[in-house]
């Protein structure tokens, strides 16, 4: 077994933290809280290292890159240092600072979601074009139907008593799919945790 000491430490820490959620012993709770605090500290240090690596990478692009890459790197570096300086001077709890960050972050996230939706639509089109069949036809029909049902196209029918209730029920159907995805993510996370606890997967061994 590669890195037996790291495997034993990871399994022991995982079992202690897991047991702390089920056993009411106060000493165990204190140890669990201490281990969680250490993990948060390590995650913060890893994030700091990633940020430093990002800044160094863009500095190298500015020094050695071509004109187009250099411009993008300069924009990233200037934005980063301005945000860092203003955040250190005003503090992260300042309302004006939060408002500026929000007004920058929300449009960027909206743009990325728009690009993601177009990419998914194009991927679905390629999928149905390459593999034709009744299942793909039903999938695309359901996608178009629920997109129309959750858009402004059918908003006029919500004022009608019976049609409004039907449309409201139809709009809630995709929630079942989203909950199924969340359940799948939870089961996958649980399985990954169990594989790490039992030593089958050892991502910490390099």
Torsion of CA 159, 163, 167, 173, to 10 degrees: 150
Structure tokens that stand for 76 in this block: 């990233």
To the question of pTM greater than 0.75 for the whole model, the response is: no
Q: Does 5 map to a domain?
A: yes
SS3 of the chain: helix, strand, coil, percent, to 5:
85, 0, 15
Domain identity same for 81 and 2:
yes
Structurally, the chain folds into a number of domains equal to: 2
- Domain extent, residue 181, equals 132-199
Q: Does 116 map to a domain?
A: no
Of 108, 121, 52, residue with least CA distance to 81 = 52
pLDDT, tens digit only, all 206 positions of the chain: 456 777 777 778 888 888 888 888 888 888 888 888 888 998 899 999 999 998 898 888 888 766 666 888 888 888 888 888 888 888 878 888 888 888 888 888 888 888 887 887 787 777 777 777 777 777 777 777 777 776 666 666 566 667 767 777 777 777 777 787 888 888 888 888 778 777 777 666 65
Is residue 202 within 8 A of residue 16, CB to CB? The reply is no
Is residue 157 within 8 A of residue 164, CB to CB? The reply is yes
Domain identity same for 7 and 81:
yes
Q: Does 121 map to a domain?
A: no
Domain identity same for 145 and 77:
no
Q: Does 124 map to a domain?
A: no
Q: Does 15 map to a domain?
A: yes
Domain identity same for 86 and 145:
no
Q: Does 205 map to a domain?
A: no
Q: Does 166 map to a domain?
A: yes
Rg (CA), the chain: 25
Q: Does 52 map to a domain?
A: yes
């Amino acid at each position: 077994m590669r890195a037996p000491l790291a495997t034993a430490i990871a399994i022991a820490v995982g079992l202690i933290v897991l047991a702390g959620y089920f056993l009411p012993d106060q000493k165990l709770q204190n140890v669990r809280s201490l281990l969680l605090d250490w993990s948060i500290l390590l995650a913060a240090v890893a994030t700091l290292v990633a940020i430093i690596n990002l800044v160094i990478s863009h500095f190298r692009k500015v020094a050695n890159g071509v004109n187009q890459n250099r411009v993008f790197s300069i924009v990233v570096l200037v934005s980063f240092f301005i945000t860092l300086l203003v955040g250190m001077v005003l503090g992260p709890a300042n309302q004006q600072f939060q408002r500026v960050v929000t007004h920058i972050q929300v449009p960027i996230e909206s743009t990325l979601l728009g690009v993601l939706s177009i990419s998914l639509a194009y991927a679905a089109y390629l999928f149905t074009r390459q593999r034709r069949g009744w299942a793909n036809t039903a999938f695309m029909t359901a996608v178009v139907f629920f997109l129309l049902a959750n858009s402004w196209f059918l908003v006029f029918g919500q004022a009608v008593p019976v049609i409004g209730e039907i449309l409201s029920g139809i709009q809630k159907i995709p929630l079942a799919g989203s909950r199924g995805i969340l359940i799948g993510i939870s089961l996958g996370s649980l399985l990954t945790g169990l594989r790490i606890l039992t030593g089958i997967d050892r991502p910490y061994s390099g």
